[in-house]
Structure 1
Amino acid sequence: MFHLIVCALSQRLKFSDRNMLEDKANPRCSTLILVFLLLVLITDVISVSGNSVNTDRKILLNLKSFLEKQNRVNRGRYSEWNQGSSNPCKWHGISCSPDMQRVTGIDLSDSKISGEMFNNFSAFTQLQRLDLSRNTLKGVVPDDLNSCHSLVYLNLSHNILGGELKLTGLTSLQKLDLSTNRFHGEVSFSFPAICNRLVVANLSMNHFSGRIDKLFDGCLNLQYLDLSSNKFTGNIWTGFSRLVEFSVSENLVTGPVPASSFSENCTLKSLDLSVNKFRGEVPREISNCKNLVMLNLWGNKFSGPIPSELGSISTLEGLLLGDNSFSRVIPESLLNLRNLAILDLSMNKFGGEMQEVFGRFKQLKSLVLQGNSYTDGLSSSGVHKLTNLSRLDLSYNNFSGPLLAEISQMVGLKFLVLAYNQFTGAIPPEYGDLSQLQALDLSFNRLVGSIPPSIGNLRSLLWLMLANNSLTGEIPGELGNCRSLLWLNLANNQLSGRFPHELTNIGRNPTPTFESNRKSNPMISSPSNCLVTKRLLTIDYSPFGFIYTILTRKICRNIWDQLLQGYGFFQVCVKGSPVRKYRVSGYLQLSGNRFSGEVPSGIGKMQHLSVLHLSYNQFTGKLPTEIGNLPLVVLNISSNKFSGQIPMGIGNLNCLQNLDLSQNEFSGTFPGNLNSLNELCKFNISFNPQMGGKIPDIGQSATFEEESYLGNPLLQSRVFKWQEVENGSKSGEEGFWWKAVLMEHGCGLTWGMVMLYVCVKRFDPKWAMNKVEAMLRPLNKINASSSRGGRGRGRGRGRGRRIY
């Protein structure tokens, strides 16, 4: 250190030699200058050493200690800091300056961090990049972060941070991502204060509110702005056309979209105004956006004609105009859009026959017309001639007549959704030629006949939805060849016969389908996808029910992509492992048919099942013990004729949330290990009158009401009897037992008096008869009073705890 000071001092002396020579007459002044320079140099060196990689290292170790204190069990790789190397530039998630002297980046994304944010990031004086995304950080963003003046990249997305946004000090910021948090209030505290260099701002999926029409005028470098899924109000910001991408979807923005918003030098490539309250006509000036690739106006109150000028935007690939009130005329100019891949005109109240123009969109890959009022058949539109289509959704209309066998010529189809119509006749066996088909949804129609065995040729099929028709016959064993089939719904038909053992082979190897989807480019998402996703996931049942409350369009898109690519979005229990894993998990719905016979033991091979629904059939025999090998969340086999002992293996289904075994013929004793199913929230074992045993007094089984156990006279439960005493007695436990004892002894004494009465009556002594009648009279009054009181309490309670 001294050597460095001497070297620096010599340099400074050289610099000041000339002035010192000129001042030879004042040696005291020269000495003072030397002392002053020495002090300055020492201060500089101390300052440099205080802002070094070693200083950053100490702060990082403080950060590590802070994180470990808040996260004592699940920890990210920050726990490895300082173990393999003392150089922080070699630690996971840490990046340094080119000379390796300062920490410039901290990446703790997806590191299992919970709790509050670290409150001393400003101590990293050269910090330029901070990524804390995909954790469970909570609370507010500390004001200390405003002192990170060198920060150019900040990502706090996918946490549970809240409070108002106040980041006024981050004037060097270029990219900001706060998406998927719980921030609220207006954003005017931060905008336009941090707009000077900002290029990307993602504020989506929060609870921000207030107006946006003037906030971003000063953001001259801004190119990408996402305000979707918030509570913004007022009119739209009219400067959006100078951006590259702009989204304000799923807000409360209203009013018309001014024509002046679309300037002649419009640079937009993506414009998403969906799910707001915009009204009026779409300005024809939108054609000024010559580079527009995606236009999403879905879910507003737009009316009038679809602008024919849209046909001049040659780059357009996605046109989403659903859930509005556009006029029925489809401009012929749209046929000029050679790059148009997705056309969504769902829920626009279009009626009558399907327009002939749709049959000429040869370039389309996805056509969505769900939720209109189209009638008659499909042949007149020529839609079956669109051989490039990979998705055709005509659900929720009034189409009628037979299903077109010619659809089988649409060899590129992956998703065919014709549900909720009035199609009649049989399922064309030619549909088995659609080799790329991944979803076939024909549910809620008037189809008859049997399931074609040719469906078994569809090796890429993930969903087969045929529920709520009038199909008959048996399930063809050929369905077992559908190696990718994970979601099968045949509920509410008139199907009969046995559960074919071949059916247990469905979904045995979906990997090739998933891998193919991972390699293909994801298609532009339409809000209509969410409606399909909800239906295909059968969200009436766990574990899919939770998405009702959180299903924004972005989450819906993520779930859909995860499913198609084979990535699970909820954890399932894996046999032989105490650790739950994210896996794609399917369902089998056969309820509401006429199936009979036994369920094959091979059902234990269906390791992808999380929902098994066999209710309202005529299945018989024992429930296979192998059912305990499945990662089930829902098991419903109610209203059948299953018999024998309930398999003990059901008690090992630790992820089970819904168990319904009611209205069967189970016998034996109540399985005590069901009491260990801590996640069970719906349980019904009622009306199995041959089942005996005791319901545990404590634990999960004791938390359910008597409705879960009705119609089982052999079952015993002290809890329910005790509860009835508690609810029915006004005099407390002692008073009840006193009455019970009195009634018991009274009944016994009454019976003795009756027998004495019979005996003495034969000899007919008058003194004996008078004595017996006198003794019986008060006891009869007590019994009558107790009986009336019991009936009164029963009516007053409404819901007793009695086992019937």
Structure 2
Amino acid sequence: MSPSLLLTFLCGLLFIAGEAAQVAAESGGVDDKEVLLELKRFLVANNKVNRGGYEAWQESGQSPCLWRGVGCNRGGRVASLNLTCSTISGPAFGNFSRLSALTSLDLSDNSIIGALPASDLNQCHSLVHLNISHNLITGSLNVSGLTKLRVLDVSANRLEGGVAVNFPAICANLTLLHLSTNNFTGNITNMLEGCTRLEYVDLSSNNFDGELLPDIARFRKFSVAENNLSGTVPWTMFPDGCKLQSLDLSANQLVGSFPDSIAKCTNLTYLSLWGNNFAGMVPAGIGKLASLDALVLGKNRFDRQIPQELTNCMSLQFLDISRNMFGGDVQEIFGNFMSLKYLVLHHNNYTGGIVASGVLRLPLLARLDLSFNEFTSDLPQEVADMKSLKYLTLADNNFSGRIPPEYGRLAELQALDLSNNTLSGGIPASIGNLTSLLWLILAGNQLSGEIPPEIGYCTSLLWLNLADNQLTGNIPPEMAEIGRNPGPTFAKNRNDTSVFIGSNECQVMRRWIPASYRPFNFINSVLTDPRTKKDSVMTGGNCRNIWDRILKGYIIVPMCTSSLSVGSLPGYVQLSRNMLSGEIPPRIGTMQNIGLLFLDGNSFTGQLPRDIGRLPLVELNISRNNISGPIPSEIGEYMCLERMDLSFNNLSDELPTSLFKLTELVLFNVSYNPLISGNISTTGQFGTFDEQSFLGDPLISLDQGEPAGKKQPGEEAPYVTAVERSSIPTAILV
């Protein structure tokens, strides 16, 4: 065959091949559209109300490449599918493998349940990116057929069992592996040996065991927090060329000394050893980590002598050496960390040395936590000169004397927790200068005198707890202004990129946001390790994310007004168990950001003001006062009210029928109001309350016609119903 004929023949073959490829691509594109429409029908059938962008996918006309969440390659084939945050519930779709050109699949942040369709997923041979995180997926993890994977994220699900079947099958190209916050088990010591390209590994919050992987220094980020690893960390763990930028070994069972060879990880910015059994000297080699931002050494058994070399960490902003039981005075070395913004030293049995240590002179310090120690004497006035201070926690010590009026100079202060000391005297009027204050927690002291009306200037103050003191006088009407406008403070926090959320933040959250307060009771699920029922650290990111949203004012729970839920953060006012008196001021009804009002255990008199019905309350407790008159019918407008305790007062007249509209009510107690009357139906929501809600109320009749209050006041009477007693918030939770 002549060269010209051969060239013509080859060109013809190429043309035919091109035509065939185009036809195949077009055919594949049509098949892809059919699969996507099948997926849409599947999702619509399982999601009757709330649906994501997939609902707009149209059967006719438009190419699927233009559909929301769909990405195509140059040949017009579906290459990526992003259905994150699409309010998907129900089981997972089982035909993704028919999208034969699919390289990226993201189903994260939905409510997908049940087991993964492993037989289908393992046929997605082109997949390089798989993200199914933050769902409710159960069963085992088997994606061993996905040999091209670079990114695998299955975090925050309910997966369980071993994962060894996936390794080394998926190792060849894997660069990111995120398995955190599941119930995986098994020995991981040599699990990732074949994953030579792996850089980012998060195995935290599982039940993995064994010893620490011997070659973690080759990763950039490695977290194995909240597992059951044991053994020591040898010197050879951190060789020359260590690539680590972030290392989290917290909440395991590691023992022994921690090696100075960590100094070879010169790129390290985050190091957490929290919650192990490390002992001996804090490694001096940490002082060579010039880029270190955060160092978390809490809940170990380190020696109280801190190496001077650590002050060479010129970038260090967050330092936690809490729960090491150092005793004695606060070490003076802490006053030399001039770059520090957050210093956490709670639970160390310190007895003194706050001023002498120099920590109050750190120029950038924004958070100081010295709670749960054994400090005595007066509160240090020098705190007032800390111009950058935002969060001050001196709770659970033995401080005495007065609250220094000088604290009113802390213009940036957002949280002041002095609870559970033996402080006396009055609340200084200068507290009104703290216009950025979000939390004021003074519960559990011996404070006396009246609540200063200047507190009304604290318009950011959403969370106020003055319970268990000896406060007297009336509630000042000006107090209705607290929490009226926290927006400016939240705005400042949103613009502050330096906010560190470090170890044990769940503990602070438990004190400042009562976890059993129903608008926040979901916090219980992230504060407690479901495996051990013990306090959890925030390694899975749950506490970090919730705390960040609270500080920035982002919605985490709805506020309720009448029948509508609107976006806001519910605040609280807790004045329980003081000696307050007088009438409850009608102006209290203007506190539109308050979801919990606790006035129980005081000596309030007069009638409940009708304006109280304007509050967006979820909980109301005015028990054990001297309130008289009728229950305002306006209380029946609290469409989100879940708990109401009016017991041990002098309320009278008939129960307003509007109360029977409170369909969310789970606790109702009007016991020992002998002048209150009415017939209680056993149908509807009030049918869930028995005679325990009406003890000592002889004029109340249940549906059966029997008087409800046969028990005499002299007998031991429940404060709330027996079923609900354990879930009522205390004055302050620790």
User: How far did residue 625 of structure 1 move?
Assistant: 2.0
Distance in 2 (alpha carbons) for counterparts of 1:255 and 1:473: 56
Alignment deviations for residues 440-485 of structure 1 (CA, whole Å, 9 cap, x no partner): 0000001111111111111110000000111111111111111111
Distance of aligned partners of 1:244 and 1:541 in 2 relative to their CA distance in 1, 3 Å threshold: same
CA contact (8 A) 1:85 1:91 kept: no
* Partner residue in 2 for 1:49: 26
Distance in 2 (alpha carbons) for counterparts of 1:719 and 1:353: 67
Distance of aligned partners of 1:14 and 1:691 in 2 relative to their CA distance in 1, 3 Å threshold: farther
* Partner residue in 2 for 1:103: 78
User: How far did residue 582 of structure 1 move?
Assistant: 4.6
Answering whether residue 195 of structure 2 is matched by residue 208 of structure 1, we say no
CA contact (8 A) 1:367 1:392 kept: yes
What secondary structure, in the 3-state scheme, does the structure 1 residue paired with 2:425 have?
coil
* Partner residue in 1 for 2:531: none
* Partner residue in 2 for 1:682: 667
Structure 1: 5+ residue stretches without partners: 1-12, 20-33, 725-798, 800-804
The share of aligned pairs that are identical, in percent, is 47
Distance of aligned partners of 1:479 and 1:175 in 2 relative to their CA distance in 1, 3 Å threshold: same
* Partner residue in 2 for 1:287: 263
User: How far did residue 540 of structure 1 move?
Assistant: 3.8
What secondary structure, in the 3-state scheme, does the structure 2 residue paired with 1:309 have?
helix
Q: Which moved more, 1:150-159 or 1:291-300?
A: 150-159
* Partner residue in 2 for 1:221: 197
Q: Which moved more, 1:87-96 or 1:322-331?
A: 87-96
User: How far did residue 343 of structure 1 move?
Assistant: 1.1
Distance in 1 (alpha carbons) for counterparts of 2:139 and 2:502: 31
* Partner residue in 1 for 2:133: 157
* Partner residue in 2 for 1:742: none
User: How far did residue 549 of structure 1 move?
Assistant: 2.9
Runs (4 or more) in structure 1 with deviation over 3 Å come to: 13-19, 36-49, 719-724
CA contact (8 A) 1:447 1:470 kept: yes
Question: How large is the RMSD of aligned CA atoms in angstroms?
Answer: 2.3
Alignment deviations for residues 707-764 of structure 1 (CA, whole Å, 9 cap, x no partner): 211000000113474999xxxxxxxxxxxxxxxxxxxxxxxxxxxxxxxxxxxxxxxx
User: How far did residue 177 of structure 1 move?
Assistant: 1.2
Answering whether residue 581 of structure 2 is matched by residue 620 of structure 1, we say no
Distance in 1 (alpha carbons) for counterparts of 2:631 and 2:708: 27
User: How far did residue 241 of structure 1 move?
Assistant: 0.7
Amino acid at match of 1:519: N
Match among 89, 93, 98 for residue 114 of structure 1: 89
CA contact (8 A) 1:645 1:667 kept: yes
Alignment deviations for residues 584-607 of structure 1 (CA, whole Å, 9 cap, x no partner): 111100011111112122222211
Match among 278, 281, 284 for residue 308 of structure 1: 284
* Partner residue in 1 for 2:445: 469
Match among 545, 560, 576 for residue 547 of structure 2: 560
CA contact (8 A) 2:702 2:708 kept: no
Alignment deviations for residues 17-47 of structure 1 (CA, whole Å, 9 cap, x no partner): 779xxxxxxxxxxxxxx9x999999976654
Distance in 1 (alpha carbons) for counterparts of 2:324 and 2:47: 51
Alignment deviations for residues 671-705 of structure 1 (CA, whole Å, 9 cap, x no partner): 33323323222221101110011111212212123
What secondary structure, in the 3-state scheme, does the structure 1 residue paired with 2:561 have?
coil
Amino acid at match of 1:136: S
Amino acid at match of 2:506: C
Match among 591, 601, 604 for residue 586 of structure 2: 601
Answering whether residue 426 of structure 2 is matched by residue 439 of structure 1, we say no
* Partner residue in 2 for 1:503: 479
* Partner residue in 2 for 1:782: none
CA contact (8 A) 2:147 2:169 kept: yes
Distance in 2 (alpha carbons) for counterparts of 1:630 and 1:175: 49
Distance in 1 (alpha carbons) for counterparts of 2:167 and 2:177: 11
Larger Rg: 1
* Partner residue in 2 for 1:129: 104
Distance in 1 (alpha carbons) for counterparts of 2:358 and 2:26: 77
Match among 253, 261, 270 for residue 277 of structure 1: 253
Alignment deviations for residues 47-75 of structure 1 (CA, whole Å, 9 cap, x no partner): 443212x3222221111111101001111
User: How far did residue 122 of structure 1 move?
Assistant: 1.1
CA contact (8 A) 1:377 1:400 kept: no
CA contact (8 A) 1:174 1:199 kept: yes
Within a 5 Å distance, the mapping from 1:330-729 to structure 2 comes to 330-376=306-352, 378-551=354-527, 552=536, 553=538, 554-575=541-562, 577=564, 580-719=565-704, 721=706
* Partner residue in 1 for 2:299: 323
Amino acid at match of 1:127: L
* Partner residue in 1 for 2:150: 174
Distance in 1 (alpha carbons) for counterparts of 2:100 and 2:9: 37
Q: Which moved more, 1:627-636 or 1:510-519?
A: 627-636
Distance in 2 (alpha carbons) for counterparts of 1:723 and 1:118: 55
What secondary structure, in the 3-state scheme, does the structure 2 residue paired with 1:209 have?
strand
Match among 44, 47, 64 for residue 68 of structure 1: 44
* Partner residue in 1 for 2:718: none
CA contact (8 A) 1:162 1:181 kept: yes
Distance in 2 (alpha carbons) for counterparts of 1:404 and 1:557: 30
What secondary structure, in the 3-state scheme, does the structure 2 residue paired with 1:110 have?
coil
User: How far did residue 314 of structure 1 move?
Assistant: 1.2
Amino acid at match of 1:444: N
Alignment deviations for residues 390-431 of structure 1 (CA, whole Å, 9 cap, x no partner): 000000000011111111111000000000000011001111
Alignment deviations for residues 57-103 of structure 1 (CA, whole Å, 9 cap, x no partner): 2221111111101001111121111289622222111112245x122
Match among 220, 228, 241 for residue 252 of structure 1: 228
CA contact (8 A) 1:690 1:714 kept: yes
Distance of aligned partners of 1:623 and 1:266 in 2 relative to their CA distance in 1, 3 Å threshold: same
Distance of aligned partners of 1:303 and 1:46 in 2 relative to their CA distance in 1, 3 Å threshold: same
Distance of aligned partners of 1:429 and 1:85 in 2 relative to their CA distance in 1, 3 Å threshold: farther
Distance of aligned partners of 1:361 and 1:84 in 2 relative to their CA distance in 1, 3 Å threshold: farther
Alignment deviations for residues 529-566 of structure 1 (CA, whole Å, 9 cap, x no partner): 11111110022432323322332512111111010010
Alignment deviations for residues 93-143 of structure 1 (CA, whole Å, 9 cap, x no partner): 1112245x1221111111111001111111111112111111100011112
CA contact (8 A) 2:64 2:70 kept: yes
- Matched residue pairs, number? 695
What secondary structure, in the 3-state scheme, does the structure 1 residue paired with 2:470 have?
coil
Amino acid at match of 2:552: Q
Distance in 2 (alpha carbons) for counterparts of 1:416 and 1:296: 23
* Partner residue in 2 for 1:779: none
What secondary structure, in the 3-state scheme, does the structure 2 residue paired with 1:602 have?
helix
Amino acid at match of 1:67: L
Q: Which moved more, 1:57-66 or 1:422-431?
A: 57-66
Distance in 2 (alpha carbons) for counterparts of 1:339 and 1:436: 23
CA contact (8 A) 1:213 1:236 kept: yes
Distance in 2 (alpha carbons) for counterparts of 1:626 and 1:147: 64
User: How far did residue 383 of structure 1 move?
Assistant: 1.9
Amino acid at match of 1:622: Q
User: How far did residue 384 of structure 1 move?
Assistant: 1.4
What secondary structure, in the 3-state scheme, does the structure 2 residue paired with 1:556 have?
helix
Distance of aligned partners of 1:156 and 1:444 in 2 relative to their CA distance in 1, 3 Å threshold: same
Structure 2: 5+ residue stretches without partners: 528-535, 710-721, 723-734
Q: Which moved more, 1:699-708 or 1:637-646?
A: 699-708
Distance in 2 (alpha carbons) for counterparts of 1:37 and 1:387: 73
Distance in 2 (alpha carbons) for counterparts of 1:118 and 1:588: 47
Distance in 1 (alpha carbons) for counterparts of 2:571 and 2:524: 18
